[in-house]
Amino acid sequence: MKPFYRKALMTLTAVGIGMGAAAEAWSAESLDDVMKRRSLTQKDVLAAAKTYVPTGKRDEFIAFSSGGQSGQVIVYGIPSMRILKYVAVFTPEPWQGYGYDDESKAVLAQGRVDGKDILFGDTHHPAISETNGVYDGQYLFINDKNNPRIAVVDLHDFETKQIVVNPIMKSEHGGAFVSPNTDWVIEAAQYAAPFRGSGYVPLSQFNEKYRGAVTYWKFDRKKGRINEAESFSIEMPPYSQDLSDFGKGPSDGWSFTNSFCSERYVGGIERGRPPFEAGCSQKDTDFLHVVNWKKAHELVKAGKATKINGHNVLTMDVSAKEGILFLIPEPKSPHGVDVSPDGKFLIVSGKLDTHASVYSFDKIQKLIAAKDFAGKDPYGLPILDLKKSLHLQLSVGLGPLHTQYDSKPCVVYTSIYVDSLVTKWNYCEGKILDKLPVHYNIGHLMTMEGDSVEPQGKYLVSLNKLAIDRFNPVGPLHPQNHQLIDISGDKMQLLYDMPVPLGEPHYAVAIRADRLKPGVRYKSGTNSRTNARSKYRTRPGREKVERKDGVVHVYGTAIRSHLTPEIIEVVEGETVSVHITNLERAEDETHGFAISGTNVNLSLEPGKTASSTFVADKAGVYPYYCTEFCSALHLEMQGYLLVKPKGYKEVSAKFSEGQAYTEADYKKQVENNVATQGVINSVVAFITARNFKDFPIVVALVEDATDQLGFAAESKKKSEDFAVKKDWQNATLWGQQWFQYQVKTADLGLRAKTHLEENGAKVVEKKK
626 in contact with ligand CUA (CB under 6 A): yes
243 in contact with ligand CUK (CB under 6 A): yes
Contact between 93 and 70 (Cβ < 8 Å):
no
Report what 173 binds from ligand CUK, ligand CUA, none; CB cut-off 5-8 Å by kind. Answer: ligand CUK
Contact between 451 and 412 (Cβ < 8 Å):
no
The sheet carrying 159-165 orders its strands as: 127-131, 134-144, 149-154, 159-165
Site string for ligand CUK, 94-133 (x = CB under 6 A): ------------------------------xx--------
Report in angstroms how near the CB of residue 145 gets to ligand CUK at its nearest. Answer: 7
Mapped onto helix, strand or coil, the DSSP state of residue 619 is coil
Question: What residue type is 478 in one-letter code?
Answer: H
C-alpha 430: how far from chain center: 37
Please give the C-alpha separations between residue 379 and each of 383, 386, 487, in angstroms, as whole numbers. Answer: 11, 19, 45
Q: At what angle do helices 728-758 and 696-724 cross, to 10 degrees?
A: 170
Report in angstroms how near the CB of residue 71 gets to ligand CUK at its nearest. Answer: 14
Contact between 260 and 238 (Cβ < 8 Å):
no
Identified binder of ligand CUA from the candidate list 591, 690, 744, 753, rule CB under 6 A: 591
Identified binder of ligand CUK from the candidate list 507, 536, 728, 739, rule CB under 6 A: 507
Asked if residue 382 has a cis previous peptide bond (ω within 30° of 0), the answer is no
Report in angstroms how near the CB of residue 493 gets to ligand CUK at its nearest. Answer: 23
Identified binder of ligand CUA from the candidate list 453, 552, 630, 684, rule CB under 6 A: 630
Report in angstroms how near the CB of residue 503 gets to ligand CUK at its nearest. Answer: 12
Report in angstroms how near the CB of residue 242 gets to ligand CUK at its nearest. Answer: 8
**How far is Cα 534 from Cα 405, in angstroms, rounded to an integer?**
44
Cβ atoms within 10 Å, residue 764: 13
* Nearest residue (CB) to ligand CUA, 460 versus 630: 630
Report in angstroms how near the CB of residue 608 gets to ligand CUA at its nearest. Answer: 13
Report in angstroms how near the CB of residue 634 gets to ligand CUA at its nearest. Answer: 3
616 in contact with ligand CUA (CB under 6 A): no
Cβ atoms within 10 Å, residue 706: 13
**How far is Cα 188 from Cα 210, in angstroms, rounded to an integer?**
15
**How far is Cα 9 from Cα 519, in angstroms, rounded to an integer?**
33
347 in contact with ligand CUA (CB under 6 A): no
**How far is Cα 76 from Cα 59, in angstroms, rounded to an integer?**
9
638 in contact with ligand CUA (CB under 6 A): no
Contact between 332 and 370 (Cβ < 8 Å):
no
Contact between 713 and 745 (Cβ < 8 Å):
no
Stretch that binds ligand CUA, among 115-123, 228-236, 329-337, 628-636 (CB under 6 A): 628-636
**How far is Cα 601 from Cα 580, in angstroms, rounded to an integer?**
11
Report what 626 binds from ligand CUK, ligand CUA, none; CB cut-off 5-8 Å by kind. Answer: ligand CUA
**How far is Cα 399 from Cα 753, in angstroms, rounded to an integer?**
58
587 in contact with ligand CUA (CB under 6 A): no
Question: What residue type is 262 in one-letter code?
Answer: S
For 478-485, the CB contacts below 8 A with 24+ separation are 480/68, 480/504, 480/505, 481/439, 481/440, 482/65, 482/81, 482/508, 483/438, 483/439, 484/51, 484/78, 484/79, 484/81, 484/459, 484/460, 485/422, 485/436, 485/438, 485/459, 485/460, 485/461
* Nearest residue (CB) to ligand CUK, 243 versus 563: 243
* Nearest residue (CB) to ligand CUA, 296 versus 558: 558
Q: What 8-state DSSP symbol labels residue 341? A: T
Report what 591 binds from ligand CUA, ligand CUK, none; CB cut-off 5-8 Å by kind. Answer: ligand CUA
Identified binder of ligand CUA from the candidate list 164, 314, 487, 637, rule CB under 6 A: 637
Report what 637 binds from ligand CUA, ligand CUK, none; CB cut-off 5-8 Å by kind. Answer: ligand CUA
Q: How many residues bind ligand CUK (CB under 6 A)?
A: 11
Q: Which residue in the shown chain puts its C-beta closest to ligand CUK? A: 443
**How far is Cα 383 from Cα 327, in angstroms, rounded to an integer?**
5
**How far is Cα 4 from Cα 743, in angstroms, rounded to an integer?**
11
Residues 523-582 that bind ligand CUA (CB under 6 A): 558
The percent helix, strand, coil of the chain (3-state, each to 5) is 25, 35, 40
* Nearest residue (CB) to ligand CUK, 126 versus 237: 126
716 in contact with ligand CUK (CB under 6 A): no
Stretch that binds ligand CUA, among 222-230, 295-303, 621-629, 758-766 (CB under 6 A): 621-629
Stretch that binds ligand CUA, among 103-111, 315-323, 339-347, 627-635 (CB under 6 A): 627-635
Report what 125 binds from ligand CUA, ligand CUK, none; CB cut-off 5-8 Å by kind. Answer: ligand CUK
Contact between 460 and 422 (Cβ < 8 Å):
yes
Site string for ligand CUK, 397-436 (x = CB under 6 A): ----xx----------------------------------
* Nearest residue (CB) to ligand CUA, 558 versus 687: 558
* Nearest residue (CB) to ligand CUA, 435 versus 634: 634
Identified binder of ligand CUK from the candidate list 173, 608, 716, 753, rule CB under 6 A: 173
**How far is Cα 453 from Cα 457, in angstroms, rounded to an integer?**
12
444 in contact with ligand CUK (CB under 6 A): yes
Residues 67-86 that bind ligand CUA (CB under 6 A): none
Report in angstroms how near the CB of residue 418 gets to ligand CUK at its nearest. Answer: 13
Q: How many residues bind ligand CUA (CB under 6 A)?
A: 8
**How far is Cα 724 from Cα 18, in angstroms, rounded to an integer?**
45
Element holding 45 (H helix, E strand): helix 42-51
Report what 507 binds from ligand CUK, ligand CUA, none; CB cut-off 5-8 Å by kind. Answer: ligand CUK
704 in contact with ligand CUA (CB under 6 A): no
506 in contact with ligand CUK (CB under 6 A): yes
Using CB under 6 A, list all residues that contact ligand CUA.
558, 591, 626, 628-630, 634, 637
Using CB under 6 A, list all residues that contact ligand CUK.
124-125, 173, 243, 335, 401-402, 443-444, 506-507
